[in-house]
Amino acid sequence: MKSLPTSPVFIAAIETAVPAFSCPQSSIRDFMLGVQGDSERKRAFLQKIYAGSSIERRHSVLPDFIVPMEERTFFPRNKELDPEPTTTQRNAVFCVESNNLSVQAAERLFDNLPELSRGEVTHLVTVSCTGFSAPGFDYHLVKELGLNPGVHRFHIGFMGCFAAFPALKLAHSLCLSQPGAKVLIVDVEICTLHFQKNFEPDTVVANALFADGAAAALVTDDPRLEKRSRLVLSDFATRLIPGSDKEMAWIIGEHGFDMKLSAYVPRLIENNIQTILDELFVQAGWTRDESLLWAVHPGGRAILDKTAAVLGLADGALEVSYKVLANYGNMSSATIFFVLKAILEGPGTGPLFACAFGPGLTVESALMEVIRP
C-alpha cells in the first residue's frame, strides 16, 4: 500500500462512557419475553433473534431490565407495559442522562490529555439521534467542563448510526481552515429509552440490538500531541445506496422513536461495500494490501459477517468490531468511537479503513492512519 500522505489533522485521543446498569443479553431477552412472548410463535421468534445477536451484554440508563418488575423506575410495573411511556417522558430522561454521560466521557478525555487545558478547546461538536432539547447537552458541557464560553458549538442531530463521520469531517475541515483549532467531539446515544412493546419485526430486532453509550474525541493539528498514538485523518466519502430509502429509517412516534429496519440491509451493504471501498481508495491514491486495519460499525452480526465475506478479509480482521458488538451492543453513532478507541490502544499500526451505515441507506467511510510515537 502506498504510504498515506502526512496530514496535519489527527484524532489525539478517544474516551468512552457507558451507564451504570450493565445488562446481560439474557436479562433483556427475558424482559422482552415477559412483555412480547404471549404465544409460542412469538417466544420462538424472540429466542431466535437474541440467540443469533452475538451480543453478550449491553448498558442502559434504566435499571428496569435487570430488576424485578416491582422495582422498575421507568417502564410500567406490569407485563403489558401499560401505559407505555410517551415520547415526552422518554425525552425527559434523555435530557438528564445525556448531560451525565456526555460529561463522563469528556472528563475522561481531558484526564487523558494533560497537555491540553480545557480553555484551549475552540470548537465543540455534539452528536445524537436519540433525544432533543435546547439548550442541550452541548450547553451543559460548556458549563460543567469549564470550557471557554465563546467556544463555537455545532450539533449533528438525528442522522443515525453513521453520524460520527459527519462530525469527524466537520472537525477535520475546521482544523484545516483554522490551524491551531482544537475540536472536541462528544457523541451520546441513549437508545434503550426507545424500546417498545409492539411485535413488529423491526421493533423486536431493534430491542435486541441497541444500547446506550457515549464517546469523546479531540481532533486537532497541535504538535504537542504528536508524541502520543494518534489517528491521522486523510479522506472521507459518503454514498447513498439507490432505492434503499425505505429499508432503514428513524422517525418520531407517539411512544418513542420508531425504527424501520429491513432484513435486506445486510444484503444491501454486502452488494455495495466493495465499490465504496474502491472509490475511496482511488480518491486517496491508495492501493489496498494485507496491512490495512479495519474499523467497521458493528450494526449487527449479519452486517459484519457479510462485510468480511465480500471483502475477503482474513480471520480476525474485524475482531475489534465483533468484540464491541458483544460487550456493548449497537450504540448507534457512538459505537464507531468504541471501535476506533480499541484500535488506537491496540498494537496495530498503519492505514485504516473505517465505515458506518445508517438511514438512507447511507454509507459513510474514511481513510485514516494509526501512528505510534
CATH superfamily to which 15-226 belongs: Thiolase/Chalcone synthase (3.40.47.10)
- pLDDT of 5 strictly over 70: no
Q: Is 107 exposed, middle or buried (0-12, 13-18, 19+ CB in 10 A)?
A: middle
For residues 216 and 186, the answer to whether their CB atoms sit within 8 Å is yes
Residue owning grid cell 442522562: 97
Alpha carbons 252 and 275: distance in angstroms, whole number: 33
The rounded distance, in Å, linking the Cα atoms of 143 and 137 is 10
Answer yes or no: are the C-beta atoms of 341 and 295 closer than 8 Å: no
Instruction: Point out the residues that are catalytic.
Output: 161
Cis status of the peptide bond prior to 149, with omega within 30 of 0: no
The pLDDT of residue 245: 86
Residue 149 burial (CB count, 10 A): 8
Q: In the predicted model, is pLDDT for residue 291 greater than 80?
A: yes
If you search the block for the grid coordinates 461495500, which residue do you land on?
273
Residue count (the chain): 373
pLDDT at 370 over 80: yes
Q: Which three cell numbers stand for residue 64?
A: 428496569
- Alpha-carbon torsion (221, 222, 224, 230), positive or negative: negative
Mean pLDDT of all residues in the chain? Answer: 95
Per the listing, cell 424485578 goes with: 68
Give residue-wise pLDDT tens across range 295-335.
999 999 999 999 999 999 999 999 999 999 999 999 999 99
Question: Cα(280)–Cα(16) distance, rounded to whole angstroms?
Answer: 28
Q: Is the pLDDT of residue 3 over 80?
A: no
**C-alpha cell at position 68:** 424485578
Place of cell 407495559: 81
pLDDT tens for residues 159-170? 999 999 999 999
**How does residue 365 score in pLDDT terms, banded at 50, 70 and 90?**
very high
pLDDT value of position 152: 99
Strand partners of residue 160 = none
Task: Tell whether the model's pLDDT for residue 104 goes beyond 60.
Answer: yes
Give per-residue burial for 70-104: e unless 16+ CB within 10 Å, then b: eebebbeeeeebeebbebeebbebbbebbbbbbbb
DSSP one-letter code for 17: E
The pLDDT assigned to 22 comes to 98
| Residue 247 pLDDT greater than 80, yes or no | yes
Please tell me the distance from the alpha carbon of residue 105 to that of residue 123, in angstroms, as a whole number.
17
Residue 240 and residue 230 in contact, taking contact as beta carbons nearer than 8 Å = no
For the chain, domain boundaries: 15-226, 228-371
pLDDT value for 290: 78
Q: Please, is 150 exposed, middle or buried when counting C-beta atoms within 10 Å of its C-beta (0-12, 13-18, 19+)?
A: exposed
CATH code for residues 228-371: 3.40.47.10
Count CB-CB contacts under 10 A for residue 134.
7
Pairing label, strands 152-157, 123-128? parallel
How many C-beta atoms surround the C-beta of residue 252 within 10 A? 11
Question: What average pLDDT score do residues 90-114 get?
Answer: 98
Q: Check residue 7 and give its pLDDT.
A: 54
**Quick one: DSSP state of residue 194?**
G
pLDDT cut 90: percent of the chain above it: 89
Residue 93: partners with Cβ closer than 8 Å, 6 or more residues away: 61, 62, 74, 190, 193
Pair type for strands 152-157 and 212-220? unpaired
CB neighbourhood size of 275 (10 A): 12
Q: Cα angle at 10 between 165 and 359, to 5 degrees?
A: 5
pLDDT of residue 2: 47
CB-side exposure of 288: number of CA atoms within 13 Å?
Answer: 16
Better-scored residue on pLDDT, 52 or 2: 52
pLDDT digits (tens, 9 = 90+) for 273-283: 999 999 999 99
Residue 22: other Cβ atoms inside 10 A: 14
**CA–CA separation, 358 and 350 (whole Å):** 27
Confidence class for position 288, pLDDT limits 50, 70, 90: confident
pLDDT at 49: 96
Quick: pLDDT tens for 60-76: 999 999 999 999 999 99
* Other beta carbons within 10 Å of 68: 8
pLDDT (tens digit, 9 = 90+) per residue, 173-198? Answer: 999 999 999 999 999 999 999 999 99
C-alpha cell at 44: 420462538
Q: What is the pLDDT of residues 121-160, one digit of tens each?
A: 999 999 999 999 999 999 999 999 999 999 999 999 999 9
